[in-house]
Amino acid sequence: MSTERRVPLAFPLTGQEELDEIAEVLRSGRLTQGPKVAEFEGAVAERVGVAHAFATSSCTTAMHLSLAAMDIGPGDEVLVPDFTFPATANVVVQQGATPVLVDVELDTYNVDPDELARHLTPRTRAIMPVHLFGLSADMDPVLAFAREHGLRVVEDAACALGSNYRGRACGSMGDVGCFSFHPRKVITTGEGGMVVTDDDELAARIALLRSHGGVRRAGRFTFERAGFNYRLSDVHAAMGVVQMRRLDSLVARRRELATGLRERLAGVPGITPPAVPEWDGHVYQAFVALVDEAVERDAVIAGLRDRGVETTLGTYALHAEPFFAELTGARPGALPASHAAARRTLALPLYPSMGDGELDLVADALGEALAATATAPPSEAPA
Ligand SMILES: *Cc1c(COP(=O)(O)O)cnc(C)c1O
């Protein structure tokens, strides 16, 4: 068997247009935050339908900036879904506040609105719904809960640029929304992020904190808070400007490929394609399927690797990771749906330049790998 990788998990789509825009920035000599950042921010704000957008060095820094602008800190608790990339909870810890991990729904992989109430305390200040893999969380009950209890809402829309929920854009529904432009996301600037908001007061604080806490008054900077340098460079924003022009076609292509994968998976036993809730809007930043309880997911990943197809786990159950296990005192499995998702999710290749041949290869290899693990003797005796 060949270990040569024939189908990668992801591959960003960029071209001559990005190179031309970057060249223009280099020739201008203005490399840090400048006109290209402003243009990129304008394009995202318009697309998402919000008043303010601030480009940042990543989604992680966008989320940290948001919590800092809300003065969330020591003594405060923030509700975070347990099944997410650790950055969502890390930024809460960076602010000296406490992330409180909430279980998810095993079908959408997003926060379970019914689980929020039992984690509410007098210290709860905010909730960070995640639109995992490009599918919106069920936001109506989340927003109603936040309103009822006076909580801030910070959307982790890292995966969800272009996605929507019942006619509203992901990122536009909370007090702030945060996007990522990492190469595995819907559009990319290499590294990069953005925070968007309709709240003028928050916007002013975000702008201040993004750049050292300094404001220009009478020709010089005065420093009003201990800020960060979380700016994006114009070199990166030049890519973003072009990528925003591609957004509609990138999303359309991702949806087409997801349909193609669904069709091919229909006849494959042992695996369930991602759910389509009534609000849909999915942009398939990742196509994450669920293997059956009895299937050894990591053996399937290894089997696919042997067949030239790169796959990976969906994401992490934070309560079972060492740092958060110690912080929260949770035992593995305390949040059962998240725990199951962490063990059973499989992210399949999906990227815009993928063709029918690759879709066939993925489905065939998956069928073989699942069949091989189903017939393999158990690797250890059951407990
Ligand atoms: C990718 C991702 C992040 C982190 O984004 P960066 O831009 O790499 O900081 C945060 N949350 C989720 C859900 C993500 O998928």
Tell me, using a 6 A CB cutoff, whether residue 92 lines ligand 1. Answer: no
Tokens of 231: 């700016």
Q: What is the mean pLDDT of residues 275-279?
A: 95
Which residue in 116, 170, 183 sits closest to 146, CA to CA? Answer: 116
What DSSP string runs through 265-330? HTT-TTEEPPP--TT-----SSEEEEE-TTS-HHHHHHHHHHTTB--EE--EEGGGSHHHHHHH-P
- Which residues are within 8 A (CB) of 266 and not within 5 positions of it... i.e. 6 or more apart? none
Beta strand pairing call for 152-156 and 124-127: parallel
3 state DSSP class of 243: helix
pLDDT digit string, tens, across residues 207-227:
999 999 999 888 899 999 999
CA of residue 182 to ligand 1 center, whole Å: 8
CA of 2 to the centre of ligand 1 (A): 32
- Our answer on whether the CB atom of 129 is closer than 6 Å to any ligand 1 atom is no
Q: How far apart (Å, rounded) are the C-alpha atoms in residues 211 and 222?
A: 12
Over residues 149-167, mean pLDDT? 98
- Among protein residues, the one whose CA lies closest to atom 5 of ligand 1: 59
- Structure confidence at residue 377 as a pLDDT band (50, 70, 90): low
The CB of 156 under 6 Å from ligand 1? The reply is yes
**pLDDT above 80: residue 380:** no
User: What is the rounded distance in angstroms from the CA atom of residue 298 to the CA atom of residue 373?
Assistant: 10
Pairing of strands 164-165, 168-169: antiparallel
Instruction: Tell whether the model's pLDDT for residue 383 goes beyond 50.
Output: no
Residue 68: predicted pLDDT = 98
**CA of 133, closest atom in ligand 1:** 15
Spatial contact of 161 and 171, defined as CB atoms under 8 Å apart: yes
Pairing mode of beta strands 77-81, 98-102? parallel
Q: From the CA atom positions of the chain, what is the Rg in Å?
A: 21
Any atom of ligand 1 within 6 Å of the Cβ of 180: yes
In percent, how much of the chain has pLDDT > 90? 93
Give the per-residue pLDDT at 379: 55
> Tokens for 349?
């290749």
Q: Quote the tokens at residue 207.
A: 């702008």
- Cβ 321 vs Cβ 339: under 8 Å: no
> 82: Cβ below 6 Å to ligand 1?
no
pLDDT of residue 5: 60
What is the model's pLDDT at position 333?
A: 85
State the average pLDDT over residues 347-355: 98
Task: Render 125-168 in DSSP notation, one character per residue.
Answer: EEE--B-GGG----HHHHHHHHHHHT-EEEEE-TT-TT-EETTE
Question: Does residue 4 have a pLDDT over 70?
Answer: no
Long-range contacts of 300-305 (CB under 8 A, 24+ apart): 300/346, 300/366, 300/369, 300/370, 300/373, 301/346, 303/365, 303/368, 303/369, 303/370, 303/372, 303/373, 304/365, 304/366, 304/369, 305/3, 305/5
Fill in the amino acid letter for 5: R
Q: Is 36 a catalytic residue?
A: no
Q: What is the predicted pLDDT for the residue at 378?
A: 54
How far from the centroid of its chain's Cα atoms is residue 310's Cα?
20
Q: For a substitution probing ligand 1, which of 57, 60, 236 has the most ligand atoms within 8 Å of its CB? A: 60
12, pLDDT greater than 60: yes
User: What average pLDDT does the segment 10-14 reach?
Assistant: 97
Tokens 């402003």 found at:
38
**Residues 73-83: pLDDT tens digits?**
999 999 999 99
Catalytically annotated residue among 64, 185, 264, 343: 185
Averaged pLDDT for residues 309-335: 95
**pLDDT over threshold 80, residue 282:** yes
Model confidence, pTM? 0.96
Contacts of 188 (CB under 8 A, 6+ apart): 12, 14, 181, 182, 239, 243
Average pLDDT, the chain: 96
62 SS3 class = helix
Q: How far apart are CA 148 and CA 142, in angstroms?
A: 10
Ligand 1 atom closest to the Cα of residue 191 is: 7
What average pLDDT does this structure show over 92-99?
98
pLDDT band at residue 254 using 50, 70 and 90 as cut-offs:
very high
Q: What is the spatial distance between Cα 331 and Cα 106, in angstroms, rounded to a whole number?
A: 19
CB 364 within 8 A of CB 382: no
Residue 91, burial from CB neighbour count under 10 angstroms (0-12, 13-18, 19+): buried
